[in-house]
Structure 1
């Protein structure tokens, strides 16, 4: 059990490296495209396959596949486990190929579903976005297979490679932006090819490691196989339940396509900053929790099952609470320091900062949802999150329609945050009611200490705050230096405050509780 902290640290490290490169990628994009119409076009063409990746690959398939694969790995022979992997990879690959062909042949159909506002307001923009989608869409084929192989490696307790793979996507896009885009008439076309190339590179990365471990499958079609059907039956409801937040974000993009130019870009850049704490810690902890919880459930060890889930909640709150407060207060300065350069101007920083503040209100809920869902999927119960997810998505749609006219793109971000809390509260209520997650007195005291420490940090940020005019007056180097110094000082202060409250490194280990 103590290895969970080590595994989470490994995943967090490589995820952090990927996020930093992702930040570099987004800085390059902001400098190259700004938040103009061409940026909206590329970002939407990128978001559609990325959404489907999280829906089919990281969301539905991974959460349905891991419990079954873990069961085979624990109770069956290696030959039977590899045979299952061959059948699943062949069947999944077949379906993915058909889906990919739809996106390549008729991209206008998908663009109409996810970006109808372009067609309604600017048919030329709609056509150009559809042509970019024709290039980016095959990414769903490659990356969904990568998600399956990542699940295999995670089950084998090899967490570093899956966490490293996204680095290749960032490097590919940065490379195309720096070395190819300047020589093309439309820079966003070069960026789209960067996504396509990255998908191939990420898939090829896994082959030598799977071969060395003896788990490189020979794909075979096996739709009628009982275990394959079991996985896909689990997968169907999880498609909705595991990706509620992604569905909400895509609904935001659909409505944003009707708003003023730049709205999609402002939401994208603010969401990318939110992905730092969410991806580095929230998703990383959930990644290592799923196979561990699956093993405990397979052994019917519900005491350790509940304790592990409780540990995951404590860990994400330790990061989520101060991160949410920090992003709320420093939203616009972060946008000024990181993105304001080239085509990305002060107006864009202001607008993106507004939506980042709105998204930061839901950061804690986004993190908790990641943890709570592992409790359901490790028990192969995808139906309950679907029912709860429907409530959250309907709430998001209603709130979107109520808020987008008076508040524009900020209203969409507020709606997403509120719906995330609705989702998290309902998931926790179910787990608590069925004795699968109990917040002990020690956990309640832990949360109280985190809130107090984070509140003191917010007071410090308020006291030492600079005006937006001052942030704008600084050179970019000065602004970056100041934001790094501010965040670094905040992290050190937070650690000191936790230490003064009696929280020690040993308390981070699952075995301590």
Structure 2
């Protein structure tokens, strides 16, 4: 537990700063271009390269590439260095080619991901932005492989801190746009030069991020030499192991395409209720998981892979149990606070400039629904790493396919039944229900694989965490009620009051109650923080 906490703390600190600067980035984005037509076009173009990378690389990275790098480091005479060089060579050449093709295919991609009519202003602006943003595919992908190699060498700092530079670059770009552009959020007036500033500036952030990771890799003792002896790259083994992961990613991306089409269609009917509210609420929903869950998973997977390779199933069970309890110790209260404080969170962040307070409140309403999904989504992601540690990429495909199928069916049902003004909230509800069911299925299958996951112990721990969180939820509800009744709404200042009382004092209350209830994971976190403050 202490080793996981130390590794998690390093990554969580970098991720925290990254997410805070990400907050500022989205604040400046909403201020500069809003969440209506221009904001929707930008967010659609911005999402496409990440979807392509997820399809080609990111899903395979954690499930296949990391375990293979670990095995090469353990078994190859040179400690896996030649294998890592071949891997980086293949990634670089492939992703440069994909980036070039994607730029030419930008109109087809925008047509695929949105419900906008070709020739419409939203469509044309989306295509222009996509052509400026899609070149980042090569830089982001190479940086991701470099980060994976660093993680297998227990170098967690740079992969977690590099996105901070990316965010700072993009913040400067959007500030420049807000200051210099006469068009602001008016999609009819925005010029190609202004779109180039937004698009190329976004790509410049990824270039800076990749550069940091490559420098860190060199400092870790890795010397990159292009290697084209691909017969030694174990591509066949990687393809065999990765085909199921790619299948899983394809399934999830089909679900994402449906989501962007439904949300863009809703935005056509109600301005400001389309892709942008979905994207911004989803980013905030992912924030706690990104800070806590990703940090724990990144440290957990290499250790679980080594334990599986050495036949130590009891260590796999122990590693998973410690991880899920550690993650949920913070996810449980945060999920309840998101459900209560959604609009109070989003108004100070997004209720400025081109965005109205009403627009920000709607983003908060979507975030409230997403709060339901935080714990099941986090547990689901942890469970997938159990399969990946065994080199099993097939089972997650079937689990993911079932989850995505349920999500897609519910999204369509809610989109049809709900008014357009509530359609994006319905998409978030479908997501929460689907991942709750997916976590149950994944748990059952993973428990069979490792001969039990300690379900009773984890269930009792979660029950105690929810009980410890109830006073926090009550305090947050009381803060919202008092402020809205006395001051008449959630403006900027009122939202900060609600956040200070319901969020700040609420979390302190949870830590105090959990400490009195002797929840070990919370006590470990409090003890670690107290020791660091004491220094």
TM over 0.5: yes
Cα displacement string for residues 151-187 of structure 1 (whole angstroms, at most 9, x for unaligned residues):
1111111111101111122111101111255335545
Distance 1:444 1:416, change over 3 A: closer
Q: Which residue of 2 aligns with 1:82?
A: 81
Q: What's the offset of the Cα at 1:471?
A: 6.8
Instruction: Note if contact 2:335-2:372 (Cα within 8 Å) is conserved in structure 1.
Output: yes
Instruction: Note if contact 2:347-2:491 (Cα within 8 Å) is conserved in structure 1.
Output: no
Distance 1:430 1:496, change over 3 A: same
Q: Is 2:492 the counterpart of 1:492? A: no
The range that moved more, 400-409 or 459-468, is 459-468
Q: What's the offset of the Cα at 1:66?
A: 0.5
Q: Distance in 2 between matches of 1:501 and 1:180?
A: 51
Q: Secondary structure at the match of 2:351?
A: coil
Distance 1:487 1:427, change over 3 A: same
Instruction: Note if contact 2:129-2:198 (Cα within 8 Å) is conserved in structure 1.
Output: no
Q: Distance in 1 between matches of 2:493 and 2:171?
A: 21
Q: Secondary structure at the match of 1:329?
A: helix
Instruction: Name structure 2 gaps, 5 residues minimum.
Output: 182-189, 526-535
Aligned residues: 506
From 238, 262, 269, give the equivalent of 1:231.
238
Alignment RMSD (CA, Å)? 2.3
Instruction: Note if contact 1:271-1:356 (Cα within 8 Å) is conserved in structure 2.
Output: yes
Higher relative contact order (CA 8 A, sep 6+): 1
Q: Secondary structure at the match of 1:257?
A: helix
Q: Distance in 2 between matches of 1:472 and 1:276?
A: 29
Instruction: Note if contact 1:369-1:427 (Cα within 8 Å) is conserved in structure 2.
Output: yes
Q: Which residue of 2 aligns with 1:420?
A: 435
Q: Is 2:105 the counterpart of 1:106? A: yes
Distance 1:73 1:484, change over 3 A: farther
Instruction: Note if contact 2:11-2:160 (Cα within 8 Å) is conserved in structure 1.
Output: yes
Q: Which residue of 2 aligns with 1:465?
A: 480
Q: Secondary structure at the match of 2:117?
A: helix
Q: Which residue of 2 aligns with 1:218?
A: 225
Could you state the TM-score of these two structures normalised by the residue count of structure 1?
Answer: 0.92
Q: Is 2:454 the counterpart of 1:439? A: yes
Q: Distance in 2 between matches of 1:12 and 1:108?
A: 38
Q: Is 2:174 the counterpart of 1:159? A: no
Distance 1:440 1:424, change over 3 A: closer
Instruction: Note if contact 2:476-2:498 (Cα within 8 Å) is conserved in structure 1.
Output: no
Q: Which residue of 1 aligns with 2:354?
A: 343
Instruction: Note if contact 2:61-2:148 (Cα within 8 Å) is conserved in structure 1.
Output: no
The range that moved more, 50-59 or 251-260, is 50-59
Could you state the TM-score of these two structures normalised by the residue count of structure 2?
Answer: 0.89
Instruction: Note if contact 1:31-1:339 (Cα within 8 Å) is conserved in structure 2.
Output: yes
Instruction: Note if contact 2:46-2:133 (Cα within 8 Å) is conserved in structure 1.
Output: yes
Instruction: Note if contact 1:333-1:468 (Cα within 8 Å) is conserved in structure 2.
Output: no
Instruction: Name structure 1 gaps, 5 residues minimum.
Output: none
Q: What's the offset of the Cα at 1:465?
A: 2.7
